[in-house]
Each structure stands twice: as structure tokens, then as C-alpha cells.
A = this chain, B = another copy of it.
Amino acid sequence: VTGGRGGRSAAAASPRVFRERLAAAVAERRSSIVLGLDPDPRRVWPEALAASDGSAADAVVAHCSALIAAAGPACVATKPQLACFERLGAAGWAALERVVAAARAAGLLVLADAKRGDIGVSAQAYADGLLGPPPGLDADALTVNPYMGEDTLEPFLATGRGIFVLVRTSNPGARDLQDAALDGGERVWERVARLVDRIDANAVVGATEPVHLVRARELMPRATFLLPGVGAQGGRVEDLAPAFAPGPHGGLVTASRSIARAHERSGAGEPAQAAREEAERLREAAWALRA
């Protein structure tokens, strides 16, 4: 869908490489929806369990593949939650590689939700493992944690892939540290937002407290916002308009449980059909917000 994948050349090492690929994919698919893949082997769809060899790892692959087949056409990307694969050990990592291949075969970008962060030499190893070519995961984008500072983000940025820095997250505990007021009045997350703008990275900004979105957009006029928290966590697509100020690729609305478990609402029908309808509903709602 989006042409050749960015390599390790000097030309690829610009934040614009990912953002241009993303903008092209969003325009072509007319979607800003990211399909979250947070598989729990105890809660896979019955059709997936039946299609698997019965192992937890294979059930997870079958579940994610069925989810991609059902909801993928309404989405521009997938976001595998690495914790859900790591908990299955080595078999889980192999399952992750198969799920990434399934997403790519469906024409979807892959955003590895790993929230990594470490000193330079270890950050380079994570960059190789998650954004590098095989045996790396070769993902198009990665979520990273800024607590350790700018030098720990550089190896990720140098890949030219999409780097989404945690700025203001969607969980209640985001208030503990991210909302703490700094000397001068600025909050910690606003300081991180300035860093993100300076290094031309992208940002994770929770959809649960839309009041932060306007301020986040002021501080990071170029960044694409990855917007978790719609659905199960209480956020509403209709409140996310400020994210789309730079254009349709300015915001990526992630949804996991609200799509994978759409069938649990009464009268919603079987899982794949319910997931397809919910993803399409989200796609239309988000597409209507574009600037």
C-alpha cells in the first residue's frame, strides 16, 4: 500500500520519512484508526480457537489474524501490545512475528506498542530488535518512554521510523508525575512535549482528557498524536478534533477491546461481524473530524 519500507540509509533517518508514509497510507485508506492487538489467550474468539492447534501462542495468532481480517479494512495500522506476547515466552515472540506478517500482508502499518526506554547502547539494541530488519521485528513505528532523557531517544530517532514518545497518557496515574507542576508553572508533560517538538518526534496523548489535546497541539504543531483511551477507557472520538489540525494523519485513534469485544454488547452478533461494524463506525467518526 505505502510503497517501499524505509531502510537504514541517511535519507531514511528523518522523522519526515515515517510521517510521509503515514500520510499517504491514511489518505489511501481514508482511515485514522489503529487496530490494537492485545490478545489474551483466555479470551480468543471461538472461531480462532477452533482454527488453532490449541496452544496459547497459536490461538493468539489465529485470534489476531481473524481480527485483522475483520476490522483491518477500516484501519490504517495495527498496534500489537508487546506485553501480551511476552507473557507467552519465546513462543509468544514467534507469535508476534507471525501477527506482524499478517498485518503487513493486509496492507497495514505496524506500530509496536513497547514503551521502551534505556541508556544509549541498550536503546540501540531495542531499536535493532523492534525497528530493524530480521531477526528484528521491522515495525514501522514504536512507542517509547522519555523518563531517561533525550540521549535515550536518539537511537530510535536515527532509524527514521515513527517514534511515539509518551507525553500525556490515558491512565488515572498519569496525574502523579506527568501533571506535576514544574518551577515556572509548566507541567512535566508539557516539558516532554517541548522536547518532542524539538526533536520532531510523534506523541502519545491520551484520549480520556480532551482538555489536554488543545495544549498538546499548541506545543507540538507537527507531531502525529497516537490517541489511546477511546472506548473501554472512556474517551470519545468526537472530542479528538484538535489532534487533526495538521491534517488527516495528525491523529491516530487506537481501539482494542472496543473492537475485539464488540460482540459482547447485547444484540451485536458474532465477533467478526461486530468487530467490522465497530471499526467502520470509528473510522467514519474519526474521518469526519479531519481539518
Contact = CB atoms under 8 A, between A and B. Distances in A.
A151 interface: yes
Contact of A115 (B84, B116, B182): B116
Contact of A83 (B116, B170, B172, B188): B116
B84 A178 contact: no
A128 B82 CA distance: 13
A119 interface: yes
A163 interface: no
Contact of A136 (B87, B117, B128, B180): B87
Contact of A135 (B87, B150, B152): B87
Contacts of A175: 149
Contact of A93 (B81, B89, B116): B89
A18 to B, nearest CB: 20
A182 B149 CA distance: 17
Interface string A66-101: 000000000000000101101111111110010000
A230 B7 CA distance: 36
B86 A97 contact: no
A122 interface: yes
A181 B178 contact: no
A94 B88 CA distance: 11
Nearest to A166: B147
Nearest to A98: B90
A192 interface: yes
B169 A135 contact: no
20 contacts: A38-B121, A83-B123, A83-B129, A84-B125, A87-B126, A88-B129, A89-B129, A90-B97, A92-B93, A115-B118, A119-B169, A145-B145, A146-B147, A147-B147, A148-B166, A148-B178, A149-B169, A149-B178, A152-B171, A182-B182
